[in-house]
Amino acid sequence: MCGSCNVRIDDVWLRLRTNQVYRTPDHERGVTFLLSEVNEASIEILPQELVINRVCFSDVVHYLRYYQHYDTNPCTINSNDDPNLSGDLCLTARVRNHNERRCINYILPILQNHGLAGIDCTEPNTTWLVSRGA
Ligand SMILES: [Zn+2]
């Protein structure tokens, strides 16, 4: 994680509000969730009752940048609660979230809604970073 990834998340964080509703990727299996709490360091979502640390959002942006996952090179999301069945992006997202459950599927729709990421909701679900332009 680095300063420029943090700055991009700062922009997102300013737009987060309690009771905002998002939907997890996948046309068929997607579920809705809402932000029940937003503070400087984390959000909490319902009905999943999951707290997601802000640093995880920066880690996701950093991973996508590092591996240059832009629209011509999307990244398979491959999320699973079981770390042994999780892809690298899912693992990266949860490392600093106690690693107990997946959180990438909640992070990505928030990044998408605020213009940082794209998501293809058909199987296999993929994501990419929206390039910032010049
Ligand atoms: Zn970075």
The DSSP secondary structure of 39-61, one letter per residue, reads: -SSEEEEETTTEEEEHHHHHHHH
Q: How many domains does the chain have?
A: 1
Q: Measure 89 CA to ligand 1 centroid, in angstroms.
A: 14
Residue 66, CB-side half-sphere exposure with 13 Å CA sphere = 12
For residue 128, report the phi and psi dihedrals to the nearest 5 degrees: -160, 160
Ligand 1 center–CA 47 separation, angstroms: 30
Query: Count of H helices and E strands in the chain?
Result: 4, 7
Say what the pTM is.
0.95
Q: Distance, CA 28 to ligand 1 centroid (Å)?
A: 32
pLDDT per residue rounded down to tens, the chain (134 residues): 589 999 999 999 999 999 999 999 988 899 999 999 999 999 999 999 999 999 999 999 999 999 999 999 999 999 999 999 999 999 999 999 998 899 999 999 999 999 999 999 999 999 999 987 54
Q: What does the DSSP 8-state code read for residue 26?
A: -
57 within some domain: yes
Residue 97, domain member (yes or no): yes
> Is residue 76 assigned to a domain?
yes
Question: Domain span at residue 86?
Answer: 3-129
Query: What's the CA-to-centroid distance between 29 and ligand 1, angstroms?
Result: 31
